[in-house]
């Protein structure tokens, strides 16, 4: 089983590095300066316990990979980049490959299934950061994170069990789950707070906003008949890396790096979509979606808003 990690940032880089360290055949697909740094100097993985530099094979696009049936492609880019990535992948890879979506949200698997018959969901609970080109930080050790996996849309099979076994042997907690999307919906509820953290910064100042966003999310899932598992975050177990504590999650990091885009349309926006489909009001998630997107477009860094400013904006938008 060869792993092709498509999107070797914080999540993909960490998973790819640990699989490579534990004897698996791994190829990374990275972009730009990150690709060049890994190609020229290797991928450095920093954890609370150690720092290692790994000479992992890396390419800059799927067309440079010599795919074979049985390869496992781990998608690890943000959801807003998935459609374009899948188009490149389908042009380069045979349909017999396995596509496993190690991504937030619940839309990636549907997109992949249009093009590939063997699609798997991976529920990722993994505090990590892409600190600079060629360098990934993972904040848990000796267990790096949790990667539960199952066939999409449902089911348990030998591939799911093999993936779970590979992840477990590479320092992750992992179970093959026939209802993996139930866990990904649970993770989605957790991720509704990502935009709050990005806009207000880490800490308790956005606690009530997060509660309201998740309350709306739970109401939408109930209206849609979606059962969500209780997925516990592991951030509370994180430890400093090279003396630096983890500063924030994926949306926070996107604003911090000035990427120009965030994935809130597929996190808070998923709840807004369900609310519109099922007649459930979602004013908090809609405002979070719009504000986070605006911050990304305008190049604003994280933590530029106060809770009071958010509530004022919500009142102006809703009249309440």
Whole-angstrom distance, CA of residue 284 vs CA of residue 169: 41
Asked which of 170-174, 247-251, 277-281 is least confident by mean pLDDT, the reply is: 247-251
- In which band, very low, low, confident or very high, does the pLDDT at 264 lie, cut at 50, 70 and 90? very high
Per-residue pLDDT tens for 157-188? Answer: 999 999 999 999 999 999 999 999 999 999 99
Q: What is the pLDDT of residues 41-51, one digit of tens each?
A: 999 999 999 99
pLDDT in tens, 97-109: 999 999 999 999 9
Instruction: Enumerate long-range contacts of 36-44, CB under 8 Å, 24 or more apart.
Output: 36/133, 37/133, 37/134, 37/135, 38/8, 38/133, 38/134, 41/134, 42/134, 43/8, 43/13, 43/16, 43/17, 43/134, 43/135, 43/136, 44/134, 44/135, 44/136
Strands 72-75 vs 43-46: parallel, antiparallel or unpaired: unpaired
Of residues 86 and 259, the one with the higher pLDDT is 86
Query: Which residues, including other chains, have CB under 8 Å from residue 271's CB and lie 6 or more apart?
Result: 188, 192, 213, 216, 217, 220, 282, 285
In the chain the domains, ranked by start, together with CATH numbers, are 1-178 (3.40.50.720), 181-320 (1.10.1040.10)
**Residue with the larger pLDDT of the pair 69 and 5:** 5
**Cβ atoms 139, 226 nearer than 8 A:** no
Taking residues 16-23, report their average pLDDT. 98
Q: Give the whole-angstrom CA distance, residue 107 versus residue 44.
A: 31
Residues in CB range of 192: below 8 A, 6 or more apart: 210, 213, 214, 217, 267, 268, 271, 285, 288
CA atoms within 13 A on the CB side of 3: 32
Which residues are within 8 A (CB) of 209 and not within 5 positions of it... i.e. 6 or more apart?
196, 200, 284, 288, 307, 310, 311
């Amino acid at each position: 089983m060869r792993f092709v990690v498509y999107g070797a940032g914080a999540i993909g880089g960490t998973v790819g590095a640990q699989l490579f360290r534990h004897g698996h055949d791994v190829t990374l697909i990275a972009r730009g300066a990150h690709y060049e740094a890994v190609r020229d100097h290797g991928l450095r993985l920093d954890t609370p316990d150690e720092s290692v530099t790994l000479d992992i094979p890396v390419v800059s696009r799927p067309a440079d990979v010599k795919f074979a049936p049985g390869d496992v492609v781990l998608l690890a880019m943000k959801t807003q980049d998935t459609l374009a990535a899948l188009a490149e992948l389908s042009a380069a890879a045979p349909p017999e490959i396995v596509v496993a979506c190690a991504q937030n949200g619940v839309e990636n698997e549907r997109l992949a299934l249009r093009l590939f018959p063997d699609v798997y969901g991976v529920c990722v609970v993994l505090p990590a950061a892409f600190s600079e080109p060629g360098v990934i930080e993972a904040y848990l050790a000796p267990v790096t994170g949790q990667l539960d996996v199952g066939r999409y849309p449902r089911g348990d099979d030998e591939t799911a069990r093999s993936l779970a076994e590979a992840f477990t042997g590479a320092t992750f907690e992992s179970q093959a789950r026939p209802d993996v999307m139930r866990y990904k919906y649970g993770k989605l509820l957790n991720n509704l707070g990502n935009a709050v953290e990005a806009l207000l910064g880490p800490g308790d100042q956005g606690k009530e906003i997060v509660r309201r966003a998740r309350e709306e999310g739970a109401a939408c899932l109930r209206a849609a008949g979606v059962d969500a598992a209780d997925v516990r975050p592991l951030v509370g177990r994180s430890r400093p890396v090279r003396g630096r504590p983890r500063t924030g999650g994926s949306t926070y990091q996107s604003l911090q790096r000035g990427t120009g885009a965030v994935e809130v349309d597929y996190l808070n926006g998923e709840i807004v979509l369900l609310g519109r489909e099922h007649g459930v009001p979602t004013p908090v998630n809609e405002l979070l979606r719009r504000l986070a997107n605006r911050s990304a477009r305008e190049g604003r860094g994280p933590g530029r808003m106060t809770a009071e400013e958010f509530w004022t904006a919500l009142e102006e938008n809703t009249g309440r």
